[in-house]
Amino acid sequence: MPVRLIERTPDAYAYPLLIKQLLHTPLAVAPDQEITYMGGRRHSYRELRQRIGRLASMLAGLGVEAGDTVAMMDWDSHRYLECFFAVPMMGAILQTVNVRLTPEQILYTLNHARADVVLVNAEFLPILAAIAPRLETVKRFVLIEDAPAAVAPVDLAGEYEALLAAASPDYDFPDFDENAQATTFYTTGTTGLPKGVYFSHRQLVMHTLATAAALGSAPAQGRLHRDDVYMPITPMFHVHAWGLPYVATMLGLKQVYPGRYVPETLLKLVRDEGVTFSHCVPTILHMLLVHPLSKVIDLSRWKLIIGGSAMSQAQARAALARGIDAFTGYGMSETCPILSLAQLPTAALADGPEAQAALRAKTGIPLPLVDMRVVNEVLEEQPHDGQTVGEVVVRSPWLTQGYLHDPAASEALWQGGVLHTGDIGHVDAAGWLQITDRMKDVIKTGGEWTSSLQIEDVVAQHPAVAEVAVIGVPDEKWGERPLARVTLKPEHVGQVSEHEIRNFSARLIESTGVSRYGVLLQVQFVDVLPRTSVGKLNKRAMREEHGPH
Amino acid sequence: MPVRLIERTPDAYAYPLLIKQLLHTPLAVAPDQEITYMGGRRHSYRELRQRIGRLASMLAGLGVEAGDTVAMMDWDSHRYLECFFAVPMMGAILQTVNVRLTPEQILYTLNHARADVVLVNAEFLPILAAIAPRLETVKRFVLIEDAPAAVAPVDLAGEYEALLAAASPDYDFPDFDENAQATTFYTTGTTGLPKGVYFSHRQLVMHTLATAAALGSAPAQGRLHRDDVYMPITPMFHVHAWGLPYVATMLGLKQVYPGRYVPETLLKLVRDEGVTFSHCVPTILHMLLVHPLSKVIDLSRWKLIIGGSAMSQAQARAALARGIDAFTGYGMSETCPILSLAQLPTAALADGPEAQAALRAKTGIPLPLVDMRVVNEVLEEQPHDGQTVGEVVVRSPWLTQGYLHDPAASEALWQGGVLHTGDIGHVDAAGWLQITDRMKDVIKTGGEWTSSLQIEDVVAQHPAVAEVAVIGVPDEKWGERPLARVTLKPEHVGQVSEHEIRNFSARLIESTGVSRYGVLLQVQFVDVLPRTSVGKLNKRAMREEHGPH
């Protein structure tokens, strides 16, 4: 017998989960709350709503219809927040362009996403100049002018503020299917073309609600509430600034958009605007902590989600020492992004900085509705013993359903009904996940997984080692065994042997029990390690030298 | 051009919003957290999950399939919480039977909902005895035995605990359409047959998430977090105990189920189990506040949502004086139920008890995604001026889509794309709603609405008045005008005239500006006011004496 579906009236059925619904509560109870932007601009929520209406009217005037794609090339700004709402609320798709990509990559993403209209900050006109003739689908351009612009290399429909001023604030945002695509943007791996991920209205609303529920339910540390002042420090072009602008808007918070991420500016905004809640990558946190102003400004009310890459325990301690409530958020572009937050149990807040930092650097507690598991190669869940590793797979209502127009990559992402994060980790008895490696960097030895990162940590402890990259190389007996490619500090070259580094590392591996098969390590000295265009170690290139696996 | 629907993989598409998904997070991070029940029983979340599996196996063994209806007749208990999950997780429908209805009404609801199986506490066997021969659809009965039971008037499939012990904890809860009906129960108006409302998995999940987000985001007062200890004091048969057991479970809270609501027991549980979060109707709050124990137990950590009917400001002050953080929750059976919560702005917490109580007695801040408006008769929103009244209409993702098998009543509930609450109120500049009356009790005079409750408050201030009920009666000139039917205190009978009460009231109405047309009041002495079977004033009967409107 099938389940019984609820009887629905046509009216009632039409409450789809749409981004516009996030605005009901703040407009009702916080219409005069302010949002401040780079350059001193301040809008109330009421004004934000009017500008969203004007932006939609303006875009409709340019011919934008439901299903069209509007690409945004700007730094964090009031324009960006307006686009976060207006474009999807029209039924169109917002493409948030990573302006740090090369012009060729930007060209690729605009063509691949079939962008119809581009809103472009004058600062990026040189990029347009390089690619405009090869844009295949873009029909109109709107200029964003913070400073007087050079001559544009394309025909412009006009300037953003002038067009908005001339447009009507009254735009009747329709209801439509909640599975309508709302946003798209491109991830950049270490190799290959950028890959597009995409999210629907329903997915963004679910991510917003679940993130708010998770952030709100923390007893003391790492929580977000309506008195907080929110300032993003991850770009709005990157996974919707982790989705937090939607959360902050839904809750009616005071918001602060800092524009470019200049440490001094950011720290002054924390002081002057009373910022209490932000999120950033470890690199930004590092820049903030080493800035002299961070030593004289009171940062003790600042809560900071750290994500994008792993926050080290040392960095967590450094932030704690400055009074900052820094804690890990885990997720990725493919997951909208937030999956879990390292909100500590209250008892742990009494622990010393060492113990606290260890927890703050873990992935923490899954958001409501997130089904996140560490599994072996046949998708069986691994024990919660804090040591058995496996791949992290996930289900939740806000995962990209694939890569745009890329069935092969989509199929690899989704296997067995779960999204494969490509991360390796283990779960402890308290349910906390610790990521230990990327799947592609793991070494499969004797049927078990060995973390290349853990072995690198060990090898790097030898005083002669400058840099190290560990990869798995084919081995007849073991399947794979670890190979460390090492560059030496100049003063040690010729003074130490590969054999010595190997024995040093193997002893340390055995004594710490880090990695059972790590003792099979081989060591090879090289003059230089290969790197990608953005400066990351290129392990893929190293592996390819050793032939296919 | 239509919106572009997201490309979906079959696997990913299959993440419907189902009640079982609420269990992911607590089972991952709080498996050993405890839930305590009447009589001292304690289960961990891990045990809860196993018992949910056993219950489903047991029900499947009795023939329960997806789409079937399982009716529950019990006081709040571990069985009830298990049913909250297991029954809908199977794809079946949980009917929560209001055991305070008359046997005839219970018979009506079981037949009307087409219940297949009834789980019944031995205490209610006498009810079954009265109705069993007339039950049209029930095939099996399961006995719940807290104390040795009398001989059952029906064939029993067995006793709950014994059947669970014999059933397997491994039950593979399937995925299915999120619009599958999960629960149903019956509302009781002042007249007529009970009306069934019903909620889908999707609706319950959305209500749970939005309630958690709202409760979590309060800065200080009226908030819920993971260190809270939750104890419901509204029956689980009534709107799923306001949906809070789902919220508490999703967050992995310690929970305390008190069974029957005996003030002394409740207060001792607050003390002994460290209860910090509850919800109840004003009557229960009154019973708690007058109990001697409430004066010696520390209640200063207790947060208490008050709903069901309006908390008076006097009661809010009395609770505050005892240290209780009492605040209004607004909603109704038709709305799952929560629509808004009176969480005060932080600044208001510094106000004196008078000002605070006024806010705490209002309806407060709408939950995320709730589109709640006060409108005139053509559905235009009324100004947020704190005085212009209208009917409260609402849209949100968790409203009953009608009354079960009752198209006419469903159509009256849903008109113009919004659910009509039947409540009258006004909204102030801060977006806070104040309910002033029930629609059906409002008097339409000279084209405007006058609150019968406000006039009753005025008339009741005359020292001779024992009770008063104000209704609208047809009037050629005004459409309707208010009529107060008054009973006098015995010592005043014959000592005061209708005219005197009328003039006293009119003067007070004029001086307070309460109600512009209230001065048209007529007064009529009666010996007794008509009441309904549950003791409420029966204004409908009074109005009917004056003929149809």
**d(CA B446, nearest CA chain A) in Å:** 30
For residue A307, give the nearest of A284, A288, A276, A277 by alpha carbon.
A284
**Are A3 and B31 within 8 A, CB to CB?**
no
Read off the pLDDT of each residue in A252-256 and give the average, rounded to a whole number: 98
Q: Which of A6, A25, A226 faces B200 most closely, judged by CB atoms?
A: A6
The answer to whether B359 and B386 are in contact (CB under 8 A) is no
The pLDDT of residue A349 is 92
Contact B402 A346 (CB under 8 A): no
Say which CATH topology domain A19-199 has.
Rossmann fold (3.40.50)
SS3 A21: helix
Closest-CA distance of chain B to residue A507, Å:
36
| Nearest beta carbon to residue A24 from set B14, B31, B370 | B370
pLDDT at A533: 54
Contacts of B210 in chain A (CB under 8 A): 209
Q: Name which of A3, A67, A418 is nearest B67 (Cβ-Cβ).
A: A3
Calculate the CA dihedral of residues B410, B412, B416, B418 and round it to 10 degrees. -60
User: Does residue B549 register a pLDDT over 50?
Assistant: no
Residue B431: list chain A partners with CB under 8 A.
28-31
Q: How far is A519 from chain B (nearest CA, A)?
A: 34
Give the residue with greater pLDDT, A436 vs B396: B396
Q: Which of A469, A498, A499 is nearest to A484 (CA)?
A: A469
Q: How many CB atoms lie within 10 A of CB A80?
A: 25
Q: Which residue of A has its CA nearest to B65?
A: A1
Confidence of residue B161 (pLDDT cuts 50, 70, 90): very high
Compute the distance between CA of residue B290 and CA of residue B300 in angstroms, rounded to an integer: 16
Q: Are A200 and A181 in contact (CB under 8 A)?
A: yes
Which residues on neighbouring strands pair with residue A146, listed in sequence order?
none
Do A414 and B11 make contact, defined as CB atoms within 8 angstroms?
yes
Which pLDDT belongs to residue B536? 64
The mean per-residue pLDDT over the stretch B42-47 comes to: 98
Judge contact between A284 and A261, C-beta under 8 A: yes
A31-35, A502-506, B397-401: range with lowest mean pLDDT: A502-506
Tokens for B34?
């405890």
Is-contact B30 B18, C-beta < 8 A?
no
- Identity of the residue in B7, B215, B225 whose CB atom sits nearest the CB atom of A401: B7
List the single best residue of B177, B217, B229 to mutate versus A (max A Cβ within 10 A): B217
- Tell me which chain A residue has its CA closest to the CA of residue B225: A217
Task: Encode pLDDT of A11-44 as tens digits.
Answer: 556 789 999 999 999 999 999 999 999 888 999 9
Catalytic residue among B444, B448, B467, B532: B444
Top-confidence residue, B456 or B514: B456
Size of chain B in residues: 549
Contact status, residue A364 vs residue A378, Cβ threshold 8 Å: no
| 3-state SS record for B178-202 | CCEEEEEEEECCCCCCCEEEEEEHH
In A, which residues are within 8 Å of B1 by CB distance? 65-68
Q: A366 and B251 in contact by Cβ < 8 A?
A: no
Q: Return all residues near A477 (Cβ < 8 A) that are at least 6 apart.
A: none
The stretch A182-192 carries a mean pLDDT of: 81
Task: From residue B51, give the alpha-carbon distance in Å to each of B140, B159, B166, B457, B547.
Answer: 20, 15, 11, 51, 56
Lowest mean pLDDT among A196-210, A254-268, B285-299, B461-475: B461-475
User: Which residues on chain A are in Cβ contact (under 8 Å) with B4?
Assistant: 66-67, 93, 180-181
CA A357 vs CA A306, A313, A413, B373: distances in Å: 12, 5, 32, 47
Closest CA to B521 of B438, B433, B443: B443
Tokens of A32: 């005069």
For residues B271 and A437, what is the distance between their CA atoms, to the nearest angstrom?
A: 47
Q: Label residue A142 left, alpha or beta by phi (over 0 means left) and psi (-120 to 50 means alpha).
A: beta
**ipTM for the complex?**
0.90
| B449 included as an active-site residue | yes
Residue of B3, B19, B208, B226 to mutate when probing chain A, most A C-beta within 10 A: B3
Q: How far is A39 from chain B (nearest CA, A)?
A: 29
Contact B217 A226 (CB under 8 A): yes
Q: By the 8 A CB rule, do B373 and B419 touch?
A: no
Q: Domain B443-544 has what CATH class? A: alpha beta
State the smallest CA–CA distance between residue A182 and chain B in angstroms.
9
CA dihedral sign of residues A371, A376, A378, A382: negative
Domain spans in chain B, listed from the N-terminal domain onward? 19-199, 443-544
Q: What is the pLDDT of residue A60?
A: 98
Residue A114 has pLDDT above 70, yes or no: yes
Q: In the structure, what pLDDT confidence band is assigned to residue B437 with cuts at 50, 70 and 90? A: confident
Q: How confident is the model at residue B514 (pLDDT cuts 50, 70, 90)?
A: low
**Contacts (Cβ under 8 Å, ≥6 apart) of A341:** A214, A215, A218, A222, A305, A327, A328, A329, A330, A364, A365, A367
pLDDT in tens, A434-463: 998 888 788 888 777 788 877 887 888 899
Asked if pLDDT for residue B256 goes beyond 80, the answer is yes
| pLDDT score of A160 | 97
Q: CA–CA separation, B288 vs B302, rounded Å?
A: 12
Query: Do β-strands B254-257 and B229-232 pair in parallel, antiparallel, or remain unpaired?
Result: parallel
Q: Which residues in chain B are contacts of A398 at CB distance < 8 A? A: none
Q: How far apart are CA A226 and CA A228, in angstroms?
A: 5
Chain B partners within 8 Å of A12 (Cβ): 399, 401-402, 414, 419
Model confidence pLDDT, tens digit, residues A322-367: 999 999 999 999 999 999 999 999 999 999 989 999 999 999 999 9
Closest B-chain CA to A89: B3
A153 vs B30: which has the higher pLDDT: B30
Angle between helices B282-290 and B313-321 (to 10 degrees): 40
Q: Which of B4, B49, B396 to mutate to test the interface with A (most CBs of A within 10 A)?
A: B4
Distance separating alpha carbons of residues B45 and B250, to the nearest angstrom: 11
Question: Pairing mode, if any, of strands B181-187 and B229-232?
Answer: unpaired
Q: What is the distance in angstroms between the Cα of A166 and the nearest Cα belonging to chain B?
A: 25
CA dist., res. A29 & res. A31, Å (int): 6
pLDDT of residue A254: 98
CA distance A183 to chain B (A): 10
Residue B356 has pLDDT above 50, yes or no: yes
For the ranges A181-190, A215-224, A321-330, B192-201, the lowest mean pLDDT is seen at A181-190
Q: Which residues of A touch B410 (CB under 8 A)?
A: 9
Which residue of chain B has the CA closest to A365?
B29
Residue B12 has pLDDT above 60, yes or no: no
Q: Can you give the pLDDT at residue A11? A: 57
Give the chain A residue nearest B427 (alpha carbons): A28
User: Which residues make beta-bridge pairs with A277?
Assistant: A230, A303
CA A278 to chain centre: 14
Least confidently predicted of A306-320, B46-60, B368-382? A306-320
Tokens of B486: 């008054």
- Residue B70's pLDDT is 98
**A80-87: average pLDDT:** 98
Mean pLDDT of all residues in B208-212: 98
pLDDT band at A251 (very low <50, low <70, confident <90, very high): very high
Q: Chain A residue with minimal CA distance to B20? A: A369
A549 pLDDT more than 50? no
Catalytic residue among B75, B302, B449, B478: B449
Which of B11, B13, B19, B25 should one mutate to test binding to chain A, selecting the residue with the greatest count of A CBs within 10 A? Answer: B25
Q: Give the pLDDT band of residue A169 (cuts 50, 70, 90).
A: very high
Annotated active-site residue in B102, B137, B187, B388: B187
Out of A220, A226, A366, closest to residue B28 by CB: A366
Q: A33 CA to chain B: closest CA distance, Å? A: 11
Of A9 and B474, the structure prediction assigns the larger pLDDT to: B474
Catalytic residues of A: 187, 334, 444, 449
Average pLDDT, chain B: 91
Q: Do A12 and B414 touch (CB under 8 A)?
A: yes
Query: Across-strand partners of B474?
Result: B480
| Chain A residues touching B330 at Cβ < 8 A | none
CA distance B91 to B72: 16
| Closest to A344 in 3D by CA, of B307, B29, B521 | B29
Q: How confident is the model at residue B519 (pLDDT cuts 50, 70, 90)?
A: confident
More confident residue, B219 or B11: B219
Say yes or no for a CB contact (<8 Å) between B209 and A205.
Answer: no
Indicate which of B6, B94, B359, B418 best probes the interface with A, i.e. most A CBs within 10 Å of its own CB.
Answer: B6
* Opening angle at CA A123, ends A118 and A128, nearest 5: 45
pLDDT in tens, A379-393: 999 999 998 999 999
